[in-house]
Structure 1
Amino acid sequence: MNVEIPECAGFLFEPARFKVMWGGRGGVKSWSIARALLVLARSRKLRIGCARETMKSIDDSVHQLLQDQIAALGMQDFFFPLKKMIRARNGSTFTYHGLRDRSVHNIKSLEAVDILWAEEAQNVTKNSWNTVVPTIRKPGSEIWASFNPVLATDETYQRFVVHPPKGAVVVQTSYRDNPYLSDELKQDMEDLKARDPDEFEHVYEGVCRPAVQGAVYKEQLIAAEKANRITSVPYDASRPVDTFWDLGFGDNVSIWFAQSIGFEFRLIDFVSDSLKDVSFYLKELGKRDYVYGKAFLPHDARAKTLAAGGRSVQQLVEAGGYRVRIVPQLSLVDGMAAVRAIFNRCWFDAEKCAEGIQALKHYRYEKDEQMSDAKHEVFKREPMHDWASHPADAFRYFAVSIREPEREKARVEAQAPPVRVGVWS
């Protein structure tokens, strides 16, 4: 077959454990990888897994992209797209996976693949990479990744660009590598470069941002990094560890582990997973050699569910031997204000809290498409609900649990009658 592939993507046909394409928009990354995988799957029987950090439906996958390339290459008589996968005449298959789904079924299905393609890999967390890399272990198996970088501190950028593993082929691409660049895209690029050179550098050259646009806690995180409060934070065995939970249930559950020492709040650990029941998280707590204080749960932890045998999450956690406190129910705006109020007293363990820190950096306000124009971006009052929401919500519950008792104490003291000091003779 005569299949056109950009020169920058030629390495995809040579064996390597890791194959990574990264850079700016218009750099033919996804298009090239889709074509290369179809060619390889036609030449021999392959099991190919197409993954993203989160995938709630088939619409979140590269299923449509692969179908478009099958049609463009005239391979409709060889590949047969089904509702949730693609099959080929020679037995090759394309399946779709969310890396955050670490269920036994998903992990087992990933073990069978010959090639795993992680698309939009800038969102893949440290925990997900640490799970998926040893899972793809068939002899000769490969892991491919494509992404537009966001922050230089993001796990995927650090793992493959800053510190590429042995056996990795890492190629940076841009619009210059695209032989099919449309006139419309060229004009859009010229307009953006004239209007906002820094944004042009990020969007089309793949230069990392100093912070995510619309980041909710941008100033607080920048200040924490400048003050070196994202570092190695040891566990103090003389103080209890409180846990702060967000219950996303099917989406995600996130837990921060914190110690209050003097005027400091030390975030020493973090756990996040999805599609797991409460017993899984209680086991995770039990694996850690901490002396626990209280488990702070959101107000919906009181709700009883059929899946839990008619018991609430609160009852399940209490049955596990933990003292439970329900977090005061404040508005989202007041909760975010509580976070900002205590952030300068927070220290984060860079290693154990890496996934939680990444989420806080990516937690952002949703862009208002109707109000935004070519010169100005306008953001809504509500943050986006995506993979970063649950860790950020759990951190908000932590801040509220700390902040509200302090505010109440200050209120009571302010209302106390003045103490008269007399002179006794």
Structure 2
Amino acid sequence: MEIDLGYKPRAPFVDYHRRRSRFAAIVAHRRAGKTVAAIMDQVDAALSFDALPNGRFAYVAPFYAQAKDVAWTYLKSYALKVPGTIPNEAELRVDFPNGNRVRLYGADNYDRMRGIYLDDVVMDEVGDMDPRAWSEVIRPALADRQGKATFIGTPKGRNGFYEIVERAKDNPDWYLSILRASETGLIPPGELEALRSEMSEDEFLREFECSFDAAVEGAYYARPLNEAEIANPKRIGHVPHDPALEVHAAWDLGIGDSTAIWLAQFAGREIRLIDYIENNGVALDWYGRALREKPYLYAPLILPHDAQARELGTGKSRVEMLEAMGFRTRIAPRLSVEDGIETVRRMLPRTWIDATRCDTGLRAVREYREKVDPKRKVSFGPLHDWTSHSADALRYLMTAYEEPTASRRERQVATVQGGWMS
């Protein structure tokens, strides 16, 4: 049977549809049509896939509501032209008569995908997703059936999407396409000039010329981190644990959400971020065990003010529960979020970060940004997403740091004399 689905691929996506590689990455300018191309690639694959029964294909957006707003209309408009296809509005999926299925998901609730199998997945704007959505849930879902994956998006700094693109370069197992507006011809030159005149240079380079090096609007810590790293490339690298110094563990406590813990040592005016812990969906005692398993001598744990609130079920606060586990605790100073962010910015130039043990936390801090209305240029404060927990824990750590007095400084200098920094 021949069925005209009404789709004609734009020229820059023809090679993508013809690819044979298992993995693909597409860096595309705004309005290039990457989402339509990716959805249609999955529709085509679902119609022709017969290697295994009951093929499963997934499109994943950063948020479930975003998947519904952006991709659901496209999926229905093309897929329902196939006789016998059944849509399911409640689950945002279409079932084809051959038993294969395409379904939409949001990475804001990636745990919902645990336990499923996949033959093909598209991750749209993957740079806005928690990296664990791919590594812990989606990649394992592809394993037993050796499913395929496509990553698409527009640059937002050197985030997880940038790392995927770098991995794809010169890799025979990957298809890579970088679609710049100045090269695709999809947007008329006059319109591009108008856009350039109305946008900042960084915005235009990022959104239409696919530059990962253009500054990300509203990123709180990207610039000071980059400047600190340029001033001393070793500032983000290997930072060993010094057994002579206490470890300060600063928490952001989640309820039904992620809990993040930064582990740091203070050596004089230096702040050394040596380790990081984050998890979700586990009880408080899990984090207590995680701390105990590490060879650290802990200073009082740094907790936010809400740790003093008593839970209805137990009648105890999390401060009391942690102290019952044998930890000492203290409450971080109460500052406004804006003042706390400014404190972190001020402290980053004297902060050293272990790139390996702190990788997850560092990624989040780099991408932590404000929520901005692009038309009115109005800020609504920090954007609450997967980066917030790490950034909040770092803010509590930095605001709890105490400048050493002269006597304290002399003692600490004597303690670390001849250590790794010298």
When residues 85 and 199 of structure 1 are mapped into structure 2, their CA distance, relative to the original with a 3 A threshold, is closer
State the shift of 1:256 in Å. Answer: 0.8
Quick one: distance in 1 between partners of 2:65 and 2:131?
25
State the shift of 1:243 in Å. Answer: 1.0
1:203 maps to amino acid: E
- What residue in structure 1 maps to residue 58 of structure 2? 49
- What residue in structure 1 maps to residue 238 of structure 2? 232
SS in 2 for 1:338: helix
Tell me if 1:156 matches 2:155.
no
Describe the superposition over 1:130-153 as per-residue Cα deviations: whole angstroms up to 9, x where unpaired.
32434420233112211111113x
- What residue in structure 2 maps to residue 59 of structure 1? 65
Quick one: distance in 2 between partners of 1:323 and 1:287?
17
SS in 1 for 2:115: helix
SS in 2 for 1:271: strand
Instruction: List gaps (5 residues or longer) in structure 1.
Output: 373-377, 411-425
1:389 maps to amino acid: S
- What residue in structure 1 maps to residue 100 of structure 2? 92
SS in 2 for 1:160: helix
- What residue in structure 2 maps to residue 257 of structure 1? 263
2:59 maps to amino acid: C
Tell me if 1:312 matches 2:317.
yes
Q: Is the 8 A contact 2:248 2:298 kept in 1?
A: yes
Describe the superposition over 1:15-57 as per-residue Cα deviations: whole angstroms up to 9, x where unpaired.
43212211321222111000111122123442123324x53xx
State the shift of 1:162 in Å. Answer: 5.0
SS in 2 for 1:284: helix
Tell me if 1:191 matches 2:214.
no
Aligned pairs for 1:23-422 (under 5 A) are 23-44=28-49, 45-52=54-61, 54-55=62-63, 58-62=64-68, 64-72=70-78, 75=81, 77=83, 78-88=85-95, 89-99=97-107, 101=109, 103=111, 106-109=113-116, 112-131=117-136, 132-152=138-158, 154-162=159-167, 164=169, 167-175=173-181, 181=186, 188-195=191-198, 196-226=200-230, 227-228=232-233, 229-306=235-312, 309-369=314-374, 372=376, 378-380=377-379, 382-402=381-401, 405-406=402-403
When residues 218 and 114 of structure 1 are mapped into structure 2, their CA distance, relative to the original with a 3 A threshold, is closer
SS in 2 for 1:206: coil
SS in 2 for 1:26: coil
Instruction: List gaps (5 residues or longer) in structure 2.
Output: 407-422
TM-score (norm 1): 0.81
Describe the superposition over 1:355-391 as per-residue Cα deviations: whole angstroms up to 9, x where unpaired.
2222222222332456x3xxxxx34372332332221
SS in 2 for 1:140: coil
State the shift of 1:287 in Å. Answer: 4.2
Q: Is the 8 A contact 1:100 1:273 kept in 2?
A: no
- What residue in structure 2 maps to residue 421 of structure 1? none
More displaced stretch, 235-244 vs 29-38: 235-244
State the shift of 1:301 in Å. Answer: 0.9
State the shift of 1:61 in Å. Answer: 2.1
TM-score (norm 2): 0.81
State the shift of 1:236 in Å. Answer: 1.7
Identical-residue share of aligned pairs (%): 26
Describe the superposition over 1:219-240 as per-residue Cα deviations: whole angstroms up to 9, x where unpaired.
4223211122112111222322
Describe the superposition over 1:166-197 as per-residue Cα deviations: whole angstroms up to 9, x where unpaired.
51112222447878x577xx654221224555
Match of 1:4 among 8, 30, 33: 8
